[in-house]
Structure 1
Amino acid sequence: MMEPTHDEAHGGALGARLNWLRAAVLGANDGIVSTAGLVVGVAGATTDRGTLLTAGLAGLLAGSMSMAAGEYVSVSTQRDSEQAALALERRELREQPEAELEELAEILEQRGLSPDVAREAAVQLTARDALRAHARVELGIDPDELTNPWHAAWASFLAFTVGALLPLLAIVLPPAGVRLPVTVASVLAALVITGWSSARLGAAKPARAVGRNVVGGALAMGVTYAAGALLGAAGV
C-alpha cells in the first residue's frame, strides 16, 4: 500500500536534483553570454588588457552577486509560501481531522484508486504521518526537503562565476591579435555544451537548444562588438 508513496518520493527527489542541475547549467550559460557580450564590446573599443580585465571582472562580480541575490529572494519567497501552507495544513488536521481524512481519500480516488482502496490508503497514510501525507499528496511539498534560499544563492553565484570565467580568461590571456577570435570560438563552443546539457536534462531535442544558444550568443557578441567599435571610433 505504501509503495506508490515510496516511488513518488524518489521521483520528487530526482526531479529536484534535475531542477538544480538545470538551474546550474542555465546560470553558467548566463555567465558566459553576459560576460562575453561585455568583454567583446569593450574589445571593440580598446585592446588594452587592463581595461578588458577590469571590465570583465566588474561584469563577473556584478552578475554573480545579482544572480545570487535574485535567487535568494525568489527561493525565500517560495520557502515562506511552503511553510505557510504547512502551518495551515497542520491547523486543519488538528481542528478537523475527519474532514481532512475525507479530503485525502478524495484526492487519491481522483488519481485513479477505487473508493475503497483510496479510503484505506488515506487511513494508513494518516496513521503513519498525517502532515507528511497531506503535504506530499495534497500540496506537493516534502516537509523534509523545503527549498533552501542559501543553497540556491550559492549555486547561482558559483554557476554564473564559472561560466563568466571562460570569456574573461579568453579575452585577456591570448596575444592581442588573436584575442577576439579565441574568445568567440571559446564562447560558441561553451554554448554548444550548455545548450546540449540543458536539452538533455529537459528531455528535449539538443539540436534546437544548441541552435538557440549559439545564435543568441553570437548575436549578443556581434551587437556589443559593433557598439564598442563605433564608440571607440568616435573617441568615447
Structure 2
Amino acid sequence: MAAIQPHCQPPPPEPKPSTVFPLKDVEKQEADLEVKVVDYAARAQWLRAAVLGANDGLLSTASLMMGVGAVKTDVKTMVLTGIAGMVAGACSMAIGELVSVYSQYDIELAQMDRDGSRDKEKMKNLPSPWQAAGASALAFGVGSAVPLLGAAFVKEYKVRLGVIVAVVSIALLGFGALAAILGKAHPVKSSLRVLFGGWLAMAVTFGLTKLVGSTGL
C-alpha cells in the first residue's frame, strides 16, 4: 500500500517592503510645500503691486500731459509736465509705501517681542520698507515713461495727442491683462475695464482743463 504523501503547503509570500515614510520625512515635505506656497503667494503679491504701480504711473502722467496739452500745444511744455508728474508721483508712491510698510514692520516686530519669538530666521521674513519704497517708485517711473516716450519725438500737436492716446491704450491693455493673470481674474474683462477707465480719466482731465483754460484764468 502506497504511503500517503503529506500535503505540501506553498511557501509564505515574502513581505513587501514598507512604503510608510518616516514621520520626520513627511513633516519635512509638508514644511517644504508650505514654504513654496508662501513664497509663490508673496511673489505674486509683489508682482501685482508692481503692475498696479506701473499702471498708476502710466495713467497719472498721461492724464496730466493730456490736461496740459489741452491749453499748451508745444512739445516742451507737455514733456516737462510729464517729467514733473513722474518725479512727484514716484516720490509720493515711495514715501507712502515706506510709511505704510514701516508701520506693518513695527507691528509685527512688537508682536514677536510679546510672544518671545524674535530670532534671525523670523526677522528675515519681515517686510522691507525700503525695498517696498524702491519697488513702488521704480514701477511708477516705468509706467510714466510710456506717455513721455510717446510724446517726446512728435512735434505736430494733434498727432502727438493721438500718439499718446495710442501708446497709453496699448499699455493699459497689457497692464490690465497682467494684473488679472496675477490676480486669477478674467484677463479680457480686466483689460477692457482698465482701458475704458484710462480713456475716461484722460478725457475728463483734457475736457476740464480745456474748459478752465477757455475762461482766461
Determine whether 1:58 maps to 2:84. yes
Alignment of structure 1 residues 1-236 onto 2, 5 Å: 1-90=27-116, 142-176=122-156, 177-236=158-217
Counterpart Cα distance in 1 of 2:37 and 2:175: 24
Unaligned regions of 5+ residues in structure 2, if any? 1-26
Unaligned regions of 5+ residues in structure 1, if any? 92-130, 133-140
**Which structure shows the bigger proportion of residues in helix conformation?**
1
Structure showing greater radius of gyration is: 2
Q: By how many angstroms is 1:218 displaced? A: 0.2
Contact 1:67 1:160 in 2 (8 A): yes
Q: By how many angstroms is 1:84 displaced? A: 1.1
Counterpart Cα distance in 2 of 1:232 and 1:173: 25
Counterpart Cα distance in 2 of 1:55 and 1:73: 27
Number of residues paired by the alignment? 189
Return the letter of the residue paired with 2:155: P
Q: 1:171 to 1:232 in 2, by over 3 A?
A: farther
> TM-score with structure 2 length normalisation?
0.82
Return the letter of the residue paired with 1:39: M
Counterpart Cα distance in 2 of 1:17 and 1:198: 13
Counterpart Cα distance in 2 of 1:90 and 1:142: 11
Partner SS state of residue 2, structure 1: helix
Counterpart Cα distance in 1 of 2:151 and 2:69: 8
Contact 1:45 1:230 in 2 (8 A): no
Query: Among the aligned pairs, what percent are the same residue?
Result: 43
